[in-house]
Amino acid sequence: MSKLSPGKYQLKSLHEEIDLFDRKLAHLLRFEEFATDAARNTAARSLTTKREQLVRAAREMVSEGVEYNDSELPRSFRTQAAIADAPATELPNEDPAVALPLPRASAPHPSPYSGTSMDFQKNLLEYKRRKKKS
């Protein structure tokens, strides 16, 4: 593999990869099912090792003076003050387990296709009635 000269775009790619590994690790720890805790720890250690190599390379590039934007940093690198100053484009609560469910509409909106050949509601109701009978 050829070694590219370090630049700001390569550092940005490294930061994106680190963020990807952070998400992979979080998914592995929260949602993946393993036969044993040892298998989970082995998989987590593997991802952490790969992530740490990327972190070392990114920090080395920063120490060499490669410029970067704070907004391009992985979420795990950002400080709490930087997160508070960030624009509100990201969701404030990224944990899906804590996310509140969206309220459901009490009545469905009328279809813009009602009364046309694209109206599926009538066929759907007929299908449900036939399914109930059998």
Sign of the CA dihedral 34, 39, 45, 50? negative
Residue 126 binned pLDDT confidence (cut-offs 50, 70, 90): confident
Predicted pLDDT of residue 2? 46
Place of tokens 């944990």: 95
By C-alpha distance, which of 42, 46, 35, 30 is closest to 98?
30
Q: Which two tokens stand for residue 114?
A: 């009602």
* Mean local confidence (pLDDT), 59-81: 84
C-beta of residue 82 within 8 angstroms of C-beta of residue 70: yes
In this prediction, residue 91 carries a pLDDT of 47
pLDDT > 60? residue 81: no
Predicted confidence (pLDDT) at residue 79 exceeds the cutoff of 80:
no
Q: For the ranges 4-18, 30-44, 116-130, which has the lowest average pLDDT?
A: 116-130
Q: With bands split at pLDDT 50, 70 and 90, how would you rate the model's confidence at 13? A: very high
Looking at residue 70, what is its pLDDT? 86
Mean pLDDT of 51-80: 88
